[in-house]
Structures are given as structure tokens and as C-alpha cells.
């Protein structure tokens, strides 16, 4: 995937200069802390467990150059990509801290003019946003395999000739579907990549029709580490983070 390769190349030099201090593979999210003070999170993506083993090799990435883990952004294993994407977010941490905040998604809704009748396509189920769409009287189509919502072919047709706005979960990076989904959007669609996994890196998305990134930047390290260890989800992580955005157009 081009996106994975671009993320690798953008952070290759930085990863060679720092080490992984901590790697936590939680049930809900994965967290990485780097020796330069960075911390990053990403969704832990795995399908149905069939054994006690999620990884095929016993590799200890801690106290090693971060470049060893960054390589896994190109892996065929979604678990390894989860770890590597959390690392990317840790390597980009200082840049992400400088981005403006959109705590209540007000800027997002205003920027994309989501009002009554706006046709919104959503990949991934974001409960708080769905309530907001309903309040705004927007029209919503959802594709979320884990919840049994939507059919891929029918959803892609909506992207091709119906949608005004696409909300695309950054979990799509972990199952390598980002570029396939975006290949189906018509020229008038405005796309937001969102969720705690989102790499807030403009250059990584220059080849894609993405107009905004909306991510989660940790601000309370110890609380984030504990939340990940305890299998907590997005609502808890947001208590110890800031919701930031980056406009790409």
C-alpha cells in the first residue's frame, strides 16, 4: 500500500535516532512510548482469536532502535501494523501537540457544512458523531463490518454518486482498505480521516483525496498507559488526550 510506504519513508530517519521505551499491546488499543518523549496510540486490530498466539515471532522491540518496529508498517500482519502505527504517532508526537484542538467537533461540522440534508457516508461506527448527525438532520449511510452494518458494493456506489462527505476511520489503515475505499469517491466528496489511530501527517496523504485529519493526541502519559493496559476504549482515552485536527486543503 502506498500509504504504508509513505509513512515508513517519512519517519525512517527519525526512527533510526530514537529507541522504543515501551510497547503495550492492549485489547482495545496499542501504545508506544519513545526515548525522545513521544507517545502514540493506535487501534489494536485483530480478527477472531483462534489460539493464544497473535504474533508468530518472539521479538522484543523495547530498548531497540525504533526503526525495527517501524518496518512493520509494511507487514502483512494487522497486529504488527497496529504496533507500527502507534509508533508513527509517537514519532510524530511533538508535531501533533502543536495542532489546534476541536474538542466538540464544532470546527469539523462547520468546515464541511454538515447541516440538514447533508449526505454523509461513514466507515466505522462513531456513536457521538451519529447523535450529532441526527441533531443536524443529516442523511447517514454506515459501513461497519464488526457491527454488520452496510454492504461494501452498495456503499461504494453511494461514494461514487451520492455522498457529500465521507467520515473514514483510520482503522482502515490497519486492514489496508484506505486506498480502496478512497478510490471510489466522486470528485465532490470531502473526506475526513478520524479516530485515535490517525497519523496527523499531511505529507502521508498527498496522494489521496483526504481533506482533514482528526486525531487523538495523548496528554497524560501514565493515565493513557493504564487505560490501554486495562483494555479501555476511545471514551476513556479521550479523557487523557486532546482531539486535534489538521486541514489538508
Between residues 51 and 241, the one the model is more confident about: 241
Closest CA to 242 of 107, 129, 102: 102
Question: What is the pLDDT at residue 47?
Answer: 73
Domains 2-97 and 106-217+240-247 share a fold: no
**Rounded-to-integer distance, Cα 137 and Cα 170, Å:** 25
Q: Region 2-30: what's the mean pLDDT? A: 97
- In percent, the amount of the chain with pLDDT more than 70 equals 96
- Cβ atoms of residues 41 and 229 within 8 Å: no
**Non-local CB neighbours of 51 within 8 Å, separated by 6+ positions:** none
Domain 106-217+240-247 has CATH 3.40.50.11590: yes
Q: Region 161-170: what's the mean pLDDT? A: 98
Q: Give the distance, in angstroms, between the CA of residue 113 and the centroid of all CA atoms in the same chain.
A: 23
Q: Is the pLDDT of residue 182 over 80?
A: yes
Give the global pTM. Answer: 0.95
Question: What is the pLDDT at residue 61?
Answer: 95
* Domain 2-97, architecture per CATH: 2-Layer Sandwich (3.30)
Q: Is the pLDDT of residue 218 over 90?
A: yes
Q: Is the pLDDT of residue 49 over 70?
A: no
Question: What is the pLDDT at residue 56?
Answer: 67
Question: What is the pLDDT at residue 7?
Answer: 98
Q: Where are the domains of the chain?
A: 2-97, 106-217+240-247
**Rounded-to-integer distance, Cα 200 and Cα 223, Å:** 22
Q: Region 185-191: what's the mean pLDDT? A: 96
Amino acid at each position: 500500500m502506498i500509504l504504508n510506504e509513505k509513512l515508513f519513508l517519512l519517519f525512517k530517519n527519525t526512527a533510526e535516532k530514537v529507541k522504543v521505551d515501551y510497547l503495550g499491546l492492549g485489547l482495545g488499543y496499542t501504545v508506544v512510548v519513545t526515548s525522545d518523549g513521544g507517545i502514540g496510540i493506535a487501534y489494536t486490530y485483530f480478527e477472531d482469536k483462534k489460539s493464544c498466539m497473535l504474533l508468530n515471532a518472539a521479538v522484543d522491540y523495547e530498548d531497540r532502535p525504533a526503526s525495527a518496529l517501524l518496518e512493520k508498517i509494511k507487514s502483512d500482519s494487522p497486529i504488527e501494523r497496529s504496533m507500527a502505527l502507534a509508533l508513527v504517532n509517537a514519532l510524530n508526537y511533538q508535531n501533533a501537540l502543536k495542532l489546534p484542538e476541536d474538542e466538540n467537533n464544532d470546527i469539523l461540522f462547520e468546515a464541511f457544512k454538515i447541516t440538514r440534508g447533508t449526505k454523509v457516508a461513514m466507515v466505522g461506527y462513531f456513536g457521538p458523531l451519529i447523535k450529532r448527525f441526527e441533531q443536524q438532520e443529516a442523511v447517514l449511510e454506515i459501513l461497519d463490518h464488526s457491527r454488520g452494518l452496510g454492504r461494501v458494493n452498495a456503499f461504494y456506489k453511494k461514494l461514487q454518486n451520492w455522498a457529500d462527505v465521507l467520515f473514514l476511520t483510520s482503522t482502515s489503515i490497519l486492514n489496508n482498505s484506505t486506498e480502496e475505499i478512497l478510490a471510489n469517491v466522486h470528485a465532490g466528496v470531502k473526506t475526513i480521516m478520524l479516530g485515535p489511530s490517525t497519523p496527523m501527517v499531511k505529507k502521508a496523504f498527498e496522494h489521496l483525496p483526504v481533506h482533514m485529519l482528526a486525531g487523538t493526541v495523548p496528554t497524560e502519559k501514565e493515565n493513557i498507559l493504564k487505560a490501554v493496559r486495562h483494555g479501555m476504549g476511545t471514551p476513556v482515552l479521550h479523557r487523557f488526550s486532546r482531539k486535534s485536527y489538521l486541514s489538508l486543503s
